[in-house]
Amino acid sequence: MPRRAATEHPVCPGKRDSLIAWFNLYMGLEAGANAENTIQAKTRDLNAFLDFFGQATGSDHPDQWTRSITGDFVKKLQHEKRSPTTINRILATLRHCARWVHHRRAFLAGNPTERIADISVDDPEWKGLTDIEVTRLKAAAEQLVHLKRRKNQHPIRDWAIFQVLLRTGMRVSELLRLDLDQYQDKHFLNVKRKGRKVTRSVFVAGEAREALDTYLDDVRGRRPGPLFCSRAGKRLARQNVDAALRAIAAQANARFPDDQKINLHAHALRHTCLRRAAEKHGVQYAMELSGQSSERYIWRYVQPSQAQKEAALEDLF
């Protein structure tokens, strides 16, 4: 069994015959510029393949990686009941890595991911919020500003985070990387997106700007550093945002039965913003707002819900 690939200190292959060494070099040189969450996901994907590769071949030699190895790895993932979306994401990581290695050190049997097809995926379910759910959540967040008074509670900051995510469609990782000096005159400047893409300017709409300015003036202050930070001035982590959104949802759900409770997370706010943008201004505008570089991915955010499809068919003639 080969040891697992590392990302902290990628090593140049001392010899050309170590797949682990090539994976380490790939992560260090090619994938290392990605966001932390992306790096962690790629590391998990490659390590899962390395475990299978070692079991299947008893070797660490790159030439043992052939198309049949990749195909059987995909079958293993299916037997483990991984979702088609997850399998296709893992495949995308393997494809990119294999092409990168093959360009520098050709595999004996050719690119081992060539002609390995994605798993067919059902139409993804839209994960956004309805208008009435947005109203409930906004009211709940406003209530918490007046209900939460303890020093370890941060309702004004949480209200600003909710508003900015809803109004910009940004990923939570993109938001948490922002520093104060990137917020200038209604815009976030030079926003680092997923991968290596950078958006020069992201507009912050009025309601979100008001919440953000209140947080900066009344809570955080205007000192340099992370835009959203803890009381100690440390940059917020993803789990802090998750906890904040759970608290808002709990307040919104307090008087409703289980079948009407809102499952709030940062991605739901992104889906909601991009859907509204597509409905009002078109898919191309939503794609630009999303920071996506390919139309392939934008449809998961802007597709109509099942209820909307049914309503459209009812009114077709």
Per-residue pLDDT, averaged over 185-214, amounts to 92
Question: Quick one: 291 and 158 in the same domain?
Answer: yes
Question: Quick one: 141 and 64 in the same domain?
Answer: no
Q: Is it the case that residue 7 has pLDDT exceeding 50?
A: no
Whole-number Å distance between alpha carbons of 37 and 173 = 8
Question: Quick one: 149 and 98 in the same domain?
Answer: no
Of 118-127, 275-284, 289-298, which has the strongest mean pLDDT? 275-284
Question: Quick one: 68 and 136 in the same domain?
Answer: no
Give the predicted TM-score (pTM) of the model: 0.65
Domain count, the chain: 2
Question: Quick one: 192 and 247 in the same domain?
Answer: yes
Q: Is it the case that residue 13 has pLDDT exceeding 60?
A: no
Any domain includes 8 = no
Any domain includes 316 = no
Amino acid at 66: T
Any domain includes 202 = yes
Question: Quick one: 191 and 233 in the same domain?
Answer: yes
Any domain includes 31 = yes
Whole-number Å distance between alpha carbons of 183 and 180 = 6
Question: Quick one: 85 and 155 in the same domain?
Answer: no
Q: Residue 123's pLDDT is what?
A: 57
Q: Residue 313's pLDDT is what?
A: 72
Any domain includes 9 = no
Whole-number Å distance between alpha carbons of 152 and 26 = 42
Question: Quick one: 157 and 257 in the same domain?
Answer: yes
Beta bridge partners of 199: 191
Question: Quick one: 140 and 47 in the same domain?
Answer: no
The CATH number that applies at residue 157 is 1.10.443.10
The overall average pLDDT reported for the chain is: 87
Q: Is it the case that residue 260 has pLDDT exceeding 50?
A: yes
Q: Residue 281's pLDDT is what?
A: 86
Q: Residue 34's pLDDT is what?
A: 63
Q: Is it the case that residue 40 has pLDDT exceeding 90?
A: no
The CATH number that applies at residue 30 is 1.10.150
Q: Is it the case that residue 148 has pLDDT exceeding 50?
A: yes
Of 9-23, 118-132, 154-168, which has the strongest mean pLDDT? 154-168
Per-residue pLDDT, averaged over 31-45, amounts to 79
Q: What are 60-114's pLDDT values in tens digits?
A: 999 999 999 999 999 999 999 888 889 999 999 999 999 999 999 999 999 999 9
Q: Residue 126's pLDDT is what?
A: 64
Per-residue pLDDT, averaged over 201-218, amounts to 95
Q: Residue 85's pLDDT is what?
A: 85
Question: Quick one: 88 and 144 in the same domain?
Answer: no
Q: Is it the case that residue 305 has pLDDT exceeding 70?
A: no
Q: Residue 283's pLDDT is what?
A: 79
Cα radius of gyration rounded to whole Å, the chain? 23
Question: Quick one: 144 and 76 in the same domain?
Answer: no
Any domain includes 312 = no
Question: Quick one: 62 and 186 in the same domain?
Answer: no
Whole-number Å distance between alpha carbons of 21 and 216 = 46
Which residue range(s) make up the domain with 99? 19-104
Which of the pair, 16 or 191, is modelled with greater confidence?
191
Rounded alpha-carbon distances, angstroms, from residue 86 to 180, 187, 282: 35, 34, 28
Give me the percent of the chain exceeding a pLDDT of 90: 64
Any domain includes 309 = no
Per-residue pLDDT, averaged over 273-287, amounts to 85
Any domain includes 123 = no
